[in-house]
């Protein structure tokens, strides 16, 4: 039975679309639609597997409903649903103007970054995140690869992982990256950072690492990409486009937050040795401060 809706209360657009197509749905897809209509706030925190279980159907059925609504898939659906349930954030590329004051520009930049973090939290697949942590926790050494702006993120990741006593290095130079990846062994891992997921130098290094037997964790934009296809675990980020700044800029903040998540997870997985390494790292800097 379809959920009843007060006619005086305007439904979010995405829920209105589901209600509109509901009469034409088959039994399995209708159960998914009803669950979403009855529990929209709950759905944005559930994986596609969990929604399928709650509706008593398959993951493929959930995805087909999303595609029926004209969306790319379930993660895209969660973003649209979440945005419809909260007060809209200002969009940098829609609202910023040359006449804005610096403070107004700052406000809009911050709001766009908040949206990026919010959307990234929604589209990261919990199972892929768990797989990434498993790979890195078991790794003998971890190499970080990224060029351009992604190289900055890769170096930040290395700087944090190094404090946990995990051997490895960051490689922004494509020649160095290729050579290091060529001498990796099974049991090693590579964290590859590329917003586009199609940077040639990064892809070449990853392909070499896979041939060496290393496992790959990719941090890249939402959607299909050559890097995502090569990776053993993929952590997606998203970022709104802007005429005033590269779309990868906001995404870089999300990438750094994902790195922090992985560091914390590995710290807890590798205790007490990680705890000891972190304390020794901190102690080594004590004499360098006034």
213 and 142 within one domain? yes
* Average pLDDT of the residues in 40-62: 93
Tell me whether residue 112 is in a domain.
no
Tell me whether residue 237 is in a domain.
yes
SS3 82: helix
Which among 173, 208, 175 has a CA at the least distance from the CA of 190? 208
Q: Give me the phi and psi of 220, to 5 degrees please.
A: -155, 175
What's residue 16's pLDDT?
76
Residue 20 has pLDDT above 70, yes or no: yes
Three-point CA angle 30, 35, 40, nearest 5°: 130
Mean pLDDT value across the chain: 87
Residue in this structure with the two tokens 């197509």, named with its chain if needed: 21
187 and 275 within one domain? yes
**pTM of the predicted structure, to 2 decimals:** 0.75
Q: Give me the phi and psi of 142, to 5 degrees please.
A: -130, 125
Q: Which of 29, 55, 85 is the last residue of a domain?
A: 85
Q: Which residues neighbour 60 within 8 Å (Cβ) at sequence distance 6 or greater?
A: none
Q: Which of 57, 85, 113 is the last residue of a domain?
A: 85
Q: What is the CATH number of the domain that holds 231?
A: 3.40.50.10490
Residue 149 lies in domain: 126-286
147 and 30 within one domain? no
| Residue 197 and residue 218 in contact, taking contact as beta carbons nearer than 8 Å | yes
SS3 209: helix
162 and 30 within one domain? no
Give residue-wise pLDDT tens across range 109-144.
888 888 888 888 888 888 999 999 999 999 999 999
* Average pLDDT of the residues in 30-59: 93
Tell me whether residue 196 is in a domain.
yes
Tell me whether residue 116 is in a domain.
no
CA 60 to chain centre: 22
256 and 160 within one domain? yes
143 and 61 within one domain? no
Tell me whether residue 178 is in a domain.
yes
Looking at beta carbons, which pairs linking 41-50 to residues 24 or more positions away fall under 8 Å? Answer: 41/85, 43/78, 43/81, 44/78, 44/81, 44/82, 44/85, 44/122, 47/125, 47/126, 47/127, 48/74, 49/127
176 and 256 within one domain? yes
Report how far residue 14's alpha carbon sits from residue 224's, in angstroms, rounded to the nearest whole number.
Answer: 24
Q: What is the CATH number of the domain that holds 67?
A: 1.10.10.10
278 and 168 within one domain? yes
Tell me whether residue 17 is in a domain.
yes
Tell me whether residue 107 is in a domain.
no
Q: Which of 56, 85, 114 is the last residue of a domain?
A: 85
Domain total in the chain = 2
Banded pLDDT at 233 (limits 50, 70, 90)? very high
Give residue-wise pLDDT tens across range 137-164.
999 999 999 998 899 999 999 999 999 9
229 and 138 within one domain? yes
Tell me whether residue 94 is in a domain.
no
Which among 124, 156, 139 has a CA at the least distance from the CA of 266? 139
75 and 21 within one domain? yes
Banded pLDDT at 247 (limits 50, 70, 90)? low
> Half-sphere exposure of 22 toward its Cβ, with a 13 Å CA cutoff?
19
143 and 71 within one domain? no
């Amino acid at each position: 039975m379809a959920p009843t809706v007060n006619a005086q209360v305007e439904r979010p657009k995405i829920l209105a679309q589901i209600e509109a197509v509901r009469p034409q749905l088959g039994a399995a897809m209708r159960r998914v639609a009803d669950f979403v209509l009855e529990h929209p706030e709950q759905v944005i925190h559930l994986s596609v597997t969990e929604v399928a279980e709650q509706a008593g159907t398959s993951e493929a059925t959930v995805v087909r409903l999303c595609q029926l609504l004209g969306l790319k898939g379930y993660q895209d659906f969660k973003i649209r649903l979440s945005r419809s349930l909260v007060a809209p954030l200002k969009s940098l590329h829609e609202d910023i103007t040359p006449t804005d004051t610096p403070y107004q520009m700052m406000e809009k930049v911050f709001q766009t970054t908040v949206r990026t973090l919010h959307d990234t939290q929604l589209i990261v697949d919990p199972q892929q995140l768990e797989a990434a942590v498993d790979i890195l926790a078991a790794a003998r050494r971890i190499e970080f690869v990224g060029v351009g702006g992604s190289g900055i993120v890769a170096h930040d990741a290395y700087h944090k992982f190094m404090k946990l006593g995990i051997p490895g290095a960051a490689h922004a130079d494509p020649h160095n990256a290729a050579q290091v990846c060529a001498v990796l062994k099974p049991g090693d891992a590579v964290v590859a950072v590329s917003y586009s997921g199609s940077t040639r130098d990064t892809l070449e290094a990853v392909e070499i690492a896979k041939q060496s037997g290393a496992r790959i964790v990719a941090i890249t934009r939402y959607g299909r990409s050559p890097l995502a296809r090569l990776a053993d675990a993929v952590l997606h980020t998203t970022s709104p486009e802007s005429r005033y700044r590269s779309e990868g800029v906001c995404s870089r903040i999300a990438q750094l937050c994902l790195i922090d998540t992985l560091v914390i997870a590995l710290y807890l997985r590798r205790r007490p040795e990680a705890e000891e390494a972190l304390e020794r790292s901190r102690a080594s800097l004590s004499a360098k401060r006034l």
